A and B are shown apart, each in its own frame.
Chain A
Amino acid sequence: MNAISGAPGTAATGAGLAANAIARAALRSDRFRLEREADWQRLEAIVAQMEKGRLRRLSDDDLLALPGLYRTVASSLSIARETSLDTATLAYLEVLVQRAWFVVYGPRSSLWDWLRGFLGGGWSAAVRAIWLDVLIALAVMVAGTIVGWLLVAHDPDWYFTLISPEMAGSRVPGASREVLHGSLFGNAGQSGMSVFAAGLFSNNAQVSILAFALGFALGVPTLLLLVQNTAVLGALLWLYSGQGLLLDFVGWLAVHGTTELFAILLAGAAGLHIGRSMAFPGQRPVLQAASEAGRRAAVVMSGVVLMLVVAAMLEGFARQLVDQTFGRLVIGGCMLAIWCAYFFAFRGRGAQVRRA
């Protein structure tokens, strides 16, 4: 308790009004308060500036002093709780410590710092951390594609159950080879492609956010969404293979599809990760398990949005510019290789970032 043992005599030797007031205070707890009030008020002024968003107006001294002041005031609170019955002071200190805690433990990293840590290993580490869910989602997507193919091969009426007529356009069962070929090639130089790309991105990003968020319902809707989307893919594959255009279609799709399907795979895996951790939390409380999984999945999801931007670029521009199957396959294959290398081979400073 040496913090409150400052004797009145020693305090009074200091010149000035404050020292005088301290000396005159009858109660030890009041002397304690008067001796520290300046620190408290300085912290309050700093915190108030930060709460108003005026970070620039703070001097470097103040910013550097903030953590130290926070700890000083926090220890003042601990001492005051044991030695003072001045309710006003206690209430003020509690509120001040809480406000400073918000600031000191607030989201400190700037967006730029966060992005650097994120790209420099945080993202790939998060993807590796949910590897099991990625495998499950991959299996579900493959199964969905096969189911889509088999359903349509068994009964072509299924085609229109899976794909709405507006979306199908000219790509209907029984369409001639020329029509289908035309839908894959010859769109180069068409204007308005950039708008198309932006629209695609917005739509795909919303779908993948949906796949992620549905994980909250124990992951079941996520799986259904994955199956439904890949069944459409299976049906289209069946349609084009019927006219011997399977490879061309794969090339057409691969330009952006390797990136886009990968992104949807990760979004589904992220949703599944949350659903799985809520359904089977193990030894941890459900809330804790959910929030741990949620934070990991949020990192993956930020990356998914980024991948979808890339996919939309490829779909809007690269696919129209490269009008032959081989070139398209090369682009798609390269993108897939890059993503795989980044996620599973690139270690970066991932471990550090995740701990920070």
Chain B
Amino acid sequence: MKRSAIPRRGTSRDRLLVTPEGIALPITVAGRGSRVGALILDFIVILVMMIVMAVLLNSIAGGVGGIARAIAPDSATAHAVQFLQILWIIAIFLFRNAYFLFFELGPRGATPGKRLAGIRIAARDGGRLTAEMVIARNLLRDVELFLPIIFIMTAGVASGMGWLAAAGWFAIFLLFPLFNRDSLRAGDVIAGSWVVERPRRRLEAALSVGPAAVPRPDGMSGDPQRRDYRFSEAELAVYGEYELQALERVLRDDRGQAMDSVYQTIAHKIGRNDGWNDERAFLEAYYTQLRARLEAGMRMGRRKADKHSGESR
């Protein structure tokens, strides 16, 4: 799928983040849906790893276990089985606590699930993401997710109080991201981190450096088929930055119908009709010259936001 080059701003999840260099960067807070998806993916990964581990240890233990039963409990094989048990307990502890830590401490700042969902963690203040932040946000994860299950298990499935406590717990922690603007988890609040979308965008070719867009100094086109369009100052003065961006979008999307109607509009507005059947070249030339005019204005400190506004200082 080709993503449009023009970012569509203005959703409720867009924030401005200021880097230590003082540059404001637009950043998008990850959606709650993609975060839940990432969590489920991670749980699936953990579950698969645990099953593989269990099968592996079981097959090793099963091999020696039969012999161990036959001989004395203090023998070498009994110790081997004990060692496997220790391995299992430690592995469970690590899966539960260190999985998220390990991956989020890497340069990618994301667990495999988060990576697939296209999100990652970052420091909320624009500074460095430190190891302490990652530790803090993951220590709370355990309590947010697993504690209600323990409540119900210890209180018994039939216990009303157990369910009530679990429900209260869910209301505080699990639903916490629903009740704040940046969908922060309790762990994010403690750590000063947040989960943001991981952007990816290719550098698209500049429209204004193609052969069509560059007028030859001698006024002749290199290609005899091409006509050279020149627009007067008055013809360029009708539009502003907003229209320039819209025009850029149309040129990049390159759809015939849209191009036609935009050509009609512009040609009508400036009272020209010499670009008939050569709309793309006409529009590219208009785009380049309009941009040249607006950018020259910018350098002088004049900006024209759109066609309705006058040039502001």
Which chain A residues lie closer than 8 Å to B59 at the CB level? none
User: Are B248 and A87 closer than 8 Å at their CB atoms?
Assistant: yes
Give the residues in chain B near A3, CB-CB below 8 Å.
none
Between A and B, 15 residue pairs with Cβ closer than 8 Å are A21-B209, A27-B288, A28-B299, A83-B295, A88-B5, A91-B5, A91-B6, A102-B122, A105-B19, A107-B104, A107-B109, A195-B85, A287-B192, A290-B189, A298-B191
B311 to chain A, nearest CB (A): 14
Count of B interface residues, CB-CB < 8 Å: 84
**A contacts, CB < 8 Å to B:** 1, 21, 24-30, 33-34, 37, 40-41, 44, 50-51, 53, 55, 71, 74, 77-78, 82-89, 91-92, 94-99, 101-103, 105-109, 111, 114, 191-192, 194-195, 198-199, 201-202, 205-206, 209-210, 212-214, 216-217, 274, 287-288, 290-299, 301-302
Query: Which chain A residues lie closer than 8 Å to B213 at the CB level?
Result: 26
Contact: B294 with A85, CB < 8 Å?
yes
Note all chain B residues with C-beta closer than 8 A to A98. Answer: 25, 27, 199
> Chain A: which residue is nearest B213 at the CB level?
A26
Are B89 and A199 in touch, CB under 8 angstroms? yes
**Top 4 closest pairs, chain A to chain B, by CB:** A291-B192, A294-B190, A298-B136, A213-B143
B189/A51 in contact, CB under 8 A: no
Q: Which residues of A are found within 8 Å of B37, using beta-carbon distances?
A: none
- Please give the distance in Å from A30's CB to the nearest CB on chain B: 5
Which B107-154 residues have a C-beta within 8 angstroms of A?
107-109, 120, 122-124, 126-136, 139-140, 142-144, 147
The answer on a CB contact under 8 Å between B19 and A101 is yes
The minimal Cβ–Cβ distance linking A112 to chain B, given in whole angstroms, is 11
Q: Is the CB of B7 within 8 A of A91?
A: yes
Given A26-B214, A91-B7, A298 and B143 touching (CB < 8 A)?
no
- The answer to whether B245 and A87 touch across the interface, beta carbons within 8 angstroms, is yes
Stretch at the interface among B90-98, B155-163, B226-234, B257-265: B90-98
Interface centre among A51, A87, A103, A214 (most CB of B within 10 A): A87
Q: Which of A33, A85, A94 contacts B25 (CB 8 A)?
A: A94
Of B47-55, B200-208, B266-274, B275-283, which binds chain A? B200-208
Known: A192-B82, A198-B86, A298-B132. A292 touches B192 (CB 8 A): yes
Majority secondary structure, A binding face? helix
Alpha-carbon gap, A50 to B82, bound state (A): 41
| Residue B73 interfacial (CB < 8 Å) | yes
Q: How far is the CA of A350 from the CA of B305 in the complex (A)?
A: 53
Contact of A107 among B92, B131, B186, B208 (CB under 8 A): B131
Answer whether residue B215 sits at the interface, using C-beta atoms and an 8 A cutoff.
yes
User: Bound state CA distance, A71 and B20, in angstroms?
Assistant: 11
Residues of A within 8 A of B5 (CB): 87-88, 91
B172 lies within 8 A of chain A by Cβ:
yes
B105 adjacent to chain A (CB < 8 Å)? yes
Contacts of A87 in B (CB 8 A): 5-7, 245, 248-249
Which of A78, A209, A290, A296 contacts B142, CB < 8 Å?
A209
B214→A25 contact, CB < 8 A: yes
Contact B199 A95 (CB under 8 A): yes
Which chain A residues lie closer than 8 Å to B19 at the CB level? Answer: 74, 97, 101, 105
Would you call A88 and B139 a contact (CB within 8 A)?
no
